[in-house]
Amino acid sequence: MSEDARFCHDAGRVFLETRDLTKTYRLGREDIRALEGVDFVAAQGDFVVLNGPSGSGKTTFLNLISAIDRPTQGEVIIEGVSTTSQTDRQLAAMRRNKIGLVFQSFNLIPVLSAAENVEYPLLLHRLERPERKRRVRAMLEEVGLGELTKRRPNELSGGQRQRVAIARALVSRPRMVLADEPTANLDSETGKAVMQLTSRLNKEHCVVFIVVTHDPAVTIYAQRRFRILDGHLTEEGNDAPVASTA
């Protein structure tokens, strides 16, 4: 059984859980609660969309569940392990092994080619060179960039860069991909293509996708939709139609 197939076999199993998740920032003498008492559960294979106005706490929530920030109160539990007690090194390993990140502004490493950017997470996994090359080639072909592997980020269009970022997030076969405004810098056609790709990968690889977006065109792909307002998370209904990827 392949690894991806095993993930699909686990579809529905709880992958991520937050309990009473709270984040407070100190601004001068004032404490600002960016997130307050958020309880959230995501199962393997979920495609979740988060939206909310600017400054509502979306990015803070994403930072906490991706283990790049620590909560002020409450906990994030990933596959049964609370991140609260984890060291920086353990959190880095958790991000490396279980989480893929897609940033709003791509965050590709400018001195590396498209293929090398995608290869970077595999280097952190210390995979052998032939296996790395094989996976990178397959992933870039999957996102439709098989011919552009040697191009640097500044030689790619916005849509192509985002595809590279998605390929980088998926190449190490994470259990969960977190995307922050993945279509914000793309035109509508490219944004649609990227979301179709994302949705297809969600189905084929059974990866948890949690996408923060303001874009209504993205929301139609969601199985579950959430809204964050003033640091509070509410689910908008889990019976929304799932968009076709065809």
Partner 1 sequence: MLLWLPLRSLLRSRRRSLLSLAIIGLGTTIALVVLGFVQESRALIRETSVAEFGNLQIASPQLWEDTAEDYGYLVQPSTLDQVSALLASESRVDAFTVQLQFPALIASGDRTQIVRVTGFVPGNPALSRAGEIVAGRDLETSDAAAVLVGRSLADRLDLAPGSAITLTLTTVDGAYNATPLQVVGIYEFSSEQVELQSLFIPLRYAQLLLNTTGVDRIVVTLGNIADTEATRARLQAGLTDAQLGLEALTWDELSPFYQQLSNLFDILFGFIALAMAVLVFFIILQILTLAFLERTREIGTARALGTTRRGVLGLLLAEGAWLAVIGSGLGVALGTALSLAFNAIGIRWAPPGTVEPVVLSIRVGITTALAPFLLGVVATILSSLYPALQMARLPVVDALRVE
Judge whether 215 and 198 are in contact, CB under 8 Å: no
**Shorter beta-carbon distance to partner 1: residue 10 or 116:** 116
Q: Does 101 bind partner 1 (CB under 8 A)?
A: yes
Nearer to partner 1 (CB atom), residue 107 or residue 245: 107
Residues 6+ apart with CB under 8 A from 73: 20, 21, 22, 24
**Closer residue to partner 1 (CB): 107 or 196:** 107
DSSP 149-182: TT--GGGS-HHHHHHHHHHHHHTT--SEEEEEST
Compose the 163-202 pattern: x for residues touching partner 1 by CB under 8 A, - for all others: -----x----------------------------------
Structure tokens, 7: 């993930």
The smaller minimum CB distance to partner 1, of residues 132 and 205, is found at 132
CB of residue 15 to partner 1, shortest distance in Å:
17
Establish if 153 lies at the interface with partner 1 (CB under 8 A): no
Residue with tokens 């920030």: 69
Residue 66 found at the interface with partner 1 (CB under 8 A): yes
Please report how close the Cβ of residue 60 comes to partner 1 at its closest, in angstroms. 9
| 92 vs 243, beta carbon nearer partner 1 | 92
> Is 112 a binder of partner 1 (CB under 8 A)?
yes
Closest CA to 112 of 102, 103, 104, 121: 121
Handedness of CA 77, 95, 235, 9 (dihedral sign): negative
Binding of residue 93 to partner 1 (CB under 8 A)? yes
Tell which one of 8, 14, 77, 92 touches partner 1 (CB under 8 A).
92
Interaction of residue 86 with partner 1, rule CB under 8 A? no
Cβ atoms of 177 and 209 within 8 Å: the answer is: yes
234 three-state secondary structure: strand
E strand spans, the chain: 14-27, 30-43, 47-51, 73-78, 81-82, 99-102, 176-180, 208-212, 224-229, 232-237
C-beta of residue 33 within 8 angstroms of C-beta of residue 19:
no
Interacting residue with partner 1 among 17, 36, 46, 119 (CB under 8 A):
119
Main-chain phi, psi angles of 119, to 5 degrees: -75, -25
Stretch that binds partner 1, among 31-39, 110-118, 133-141, 228-236 (CB under 8 A): 110-118
* Candidate list 8, 14, 43, 124; residue touching partner 1; CB under 8 A: 124
Applying CB under 8 A, the residues found at the interface with partner 1 are 63, 66, 68-69, 88-89, 92-93, 95-97, 101, 103, 107, 109-112, 116, 119-121, 123-124, 168
